[in-house]
Structure 1
Amino acid sequence: LEIDGKANHLFIRDWNDRVSATVGSSSVFTCPQKSNITMVTWKISPKVGGPCTLGYRADWNKTDRTNCSDGMNWKFRPDRDPTLEIRQVKIAHEGNYTCELVAAEGNFHQTYHLTVLVLPKSTLECDDQGNPVCQAAAGKPAAQISWVRESNLTPSEEGHDDGTVTVFSKFTAHSTEVTNTTCIVSHPAGNWSKSIACRSRNLILYVSIILCFLSIIIFVAVIYYFKLHHDRLCHKTKPPETALTHSPQDDTMEVEPYTTYVQKENVIYNSVSDLTV
C-alpha cells in the first residue's frame, strides 16, 4: 500500500512479510532504512500473552519498553538501526511484529507474521507384533510421515496444549520375511529418515515353540541314557548269588575221617589179638 500526499509530501508505505524461525534460533526483524528518524516503535502482538512495545524518540534520545521479555531487544542503536532481535525464539514469540517509523520522508510501517517451527523428535522402532512404527513427536506444524515401501495406512495425530503435534504411523508387513523398511519424516524445520528390519513375532513364536519342544526331547533322552547306563553298571558290579547246595560228595568227605579212624582201630586191635595168641 502506498499513498502519496503531494500537498504535504507525506508517504505512507506498508509491507507485510511472513517469516518462520525454529525454536532456539535467533530471529531479526528490520525496519525500512531511513535517515533522520524522528520516532520508531515496535508493536508486538503474540498469539499467546499480552502485547509488548519497544519505542525510541530522537528528540528525547530515549528508549522505552513495555511488557517485553529480556530476550527481545534492539539489535543495534535505534537511532542508527532500529532492527529488532529475538535471541532465542520460543513458541510464545509467534505472532505479529510491526515497525512504525517516522522520518523526514514520511511514515513507514513494516509488519512481519512470525511462525515458530518446532522440529519433532523422530523415532523408528518395532512393536510387539514385529511391525515398524515411526513417530514424529511434538512437532510444529505436524510432520508428514511416509515409507519407502508404499503403505495405505493413514498416520494418526495427537495434539498438545503448546500447539505441537505428535504423528504416529505403523507399517504392516504382508509377509514374515525380514526386510529393511525406511521411514521418512518431512518437516519445514528439517527432514529425517531411518531404516529398520523387524522380525515377525509369529515367526519368533513358532521358532520358540520348536526350540522348546526339541529341548524337552533332548532332556528326556539324556535322562533315559543316564538311567540306562546306571542300571548296566549296577548289574556288572553286583556279586552273583550262589545257592547253598548239599551234595553227596560232601557227606562222603565228612564220613571218610571217621571210617579211617575205625579202620585204624581195628588194625590195632587185630594186632594185639595176634600177639596174645
Structure 2
Amino acid sequence: MKAGADMKTAGKTVCVFVLLTITKVTDIMITAGNDSVSVTVGSSSVLACPQKSNITMVTWKISPKLGGPCTLGYRADWNKTDRTNCSDSMNWKLRPDRDATLEIRQVKIAHEGNYTCEVVAAEGNFHRPYHLTVLVPPKLTLYCDDQGNPVCKAAAGKPAAQISWVLESNSTPNEEGHDDGTVTVFSKFTAYSTNVTNTTCIVSHPAGNWRESIACRPNNNDSILYISIILCFLSIITFVAVIYYFKLHHDRLCHKTKPPETAPTYSPQDDTMEVEPYTTYVQKENVIYNSVSDLTVGQNLLQGLSPAT
C-alpha cells in the first residue's frame, strides 16, 4: 500500500517536471522565433497580423520593457474593439475586421519590448510574435581638449555607437551609461606621430553613420611651463618694487621738518586800541575835575561880593 502511494507521488512529480520543462522550452522557442523589428525613435512602426478569412477574434498582447502590459482586442461576433492599459500612440492601422495590423506612432524608448498577435479564425488559431527594438541615434561632437588632442563624443545613443579614426590611433573608447538605456561613448585620438594636426572621426550606428574632421594644435607643455615661471618671477619683482617705493615715500614724508614758529606781530593800531580806553577815562576825569573847580570858584566869588553890597 505504501509502495503504491510512493509510486503515485513519484509519478506526479515527474509529470509536473515534464510540464514545466515543456513550458520553458516553448517560451524559449517563442522568444527565439520572434521577428526582430528595429525602428528609430520618433518614427512610426507597423506590425502585421496573419491574414485569415472568417476571423472570429484578434488580440494584440504587448509586453514593453518599461511599464505594464497592454492589450488590444476585437470580437467579430460583437463587432467591438477594446483596449486595456494601452497608450493612444498604439492603435489599429485600419479596421480590425479587414486588417489587424498594429501601428505605433512616434515611437519612444518605452515602446521597446515584445508584441504578439493572436488570431482565432475558422481555419484555427494563429499567432505572430515580434521583438521591437528602438534605436536612438547618437549626437556627434568633435573638439580639442586642453592638451590639443582631438576628442570624439557620440552622446546618448542606443545601442552604443562605434567610434573610429581615419588615421591610425591607439585610443581606447570609454562608455557612460544612462538611466534611459542610452550610452555615451568618448574616444581621444592619440596619434603615433606628433606631426598629425588634422584628423577625422567616424561614428557608426545601426541608425546611421556620421563623420566629422577637426584640426588641433598640439600644446608644448615645456613652453607653457617656462612662460608661467617667467610671468611669476616678473610678478614677484613688480610686487617687491611697489612695496619698496611706497615704503621709501612714506619715510620721506615722516622726516620732513616742521615750519618754524613765528612771533606774533603787533601793529600800532593794536596799541591805540589798548591805550584808547585809558585816555578816554582820564579825559572824563579831567572834565569832571574842571567842572567842580569852576563851580567852587564861582561860589567863592559870590561870597566875596556879598559884604560889599
* TM-score of Structure 1 vs Structure 2, range by shorter chain: 0.5 to 0.7
Letter in 1 for 2:216: C
* Distance in 2 between residues matched to 1:170 and 1:118, nearest whole Å: 23
**Counterparts in 2 of 1:22 and 1:204: CA distance versus 1, 3 Å:** farther
Q: Which residue of 1 aligns with 2:87?
A: 69
Q: Secondary structure at the match of 2:119?
A: strand
Offset of residue 201 of structure 1? 1.7
Greater radius of gyration (CA): 2
CA contact (8 A) 1:176 1:203 kept: no
| Structure 2 counterparts to residues 47-196 of structure 1, below 5 A | 47-177=65-195, 179-196=197-214
**Counterparts in 2 of 1:178 and 1:205: CA distance versus 1, 3 Å:** farther
Report Cα offsets for 1:88-135 as digits up to 9, x if no partner.
110000000000001111111000000111000111100010000000
**Counterparts in 2 of 1:196 and 1:36: CA distance versus 1, 3 Å:** same
Offset of residue 147 of structure 1? 0.6
Q: Secondary structure at the match of 1:191?
A: strand
Q: Secondary structure at the match of 2:220?
A: helix
Report Cα offsets for 1:196-250 as digits up to 9, x if no partner.
11001218956x95xx99xx9xxxxxxxxxxxxxxxxxxxxxxxxxxxxxxxxxx
**Counterparts in 2 of 1:106 and 1:204: CA distance versus 1, 3 Å:** farther
* Distance in 2 between residues matched to 1:176 and 1:205, nearest whole Å: 16
Q: Secondary structure at the match of 1:50?
A: coil
Q: Secondary structure at the match of 1:201?
A: coil
Offset of residue 180 of structure 1? 1.4
Offset of residue 152 of structure 1? 2.0
* Distance in 2 between residues matched to 1:32 and 1:171, nearest whole Å: 51
* Distance in 2 between residues matched to 1:157 and 1:116, nearest whole Å: 19
TM-score by length of 1: 0.68
* Distance in 1 between residues matched to 2:192 and 2:124, nearest whole Å: 69
Matched pairs, number:
200
* Distance in 1 between residues matched to 2:100 and 2:222, nearest whole Å: 66
CA contact (8 A) 2:165 2:199 kept: yes
TM-score by length of 2: 0.61
Q: Which residue of 2 aligns with 1:4?
A: none
* Distance in 1 between residues matched to 2:52 and 2:40, nearest whole Å: 30
Provide runs of 4+ in structure 1 moved above 6 Å.
none
CA contact (8 A) 2:41 2:135 kept: yes
Question: Higher relative contact order at CA 8 Å, sep ≥6: structure 1 or structure 2?
Answer: 1
Report Cα offsets for 1:175-206 as digits up to 9, x if no partner.
55352101110000011111111001218956
* Distance in 2 between residues matched to 1:41 and 1:26, nearest whole Å: 21
Q: Which has the higher helix share?
A: 2
**Counterparts in 2 of 1:204 and 1:41: CA distance versus 1, 3 Å:** farther
Q: Which has the higher strand share?
A: 1
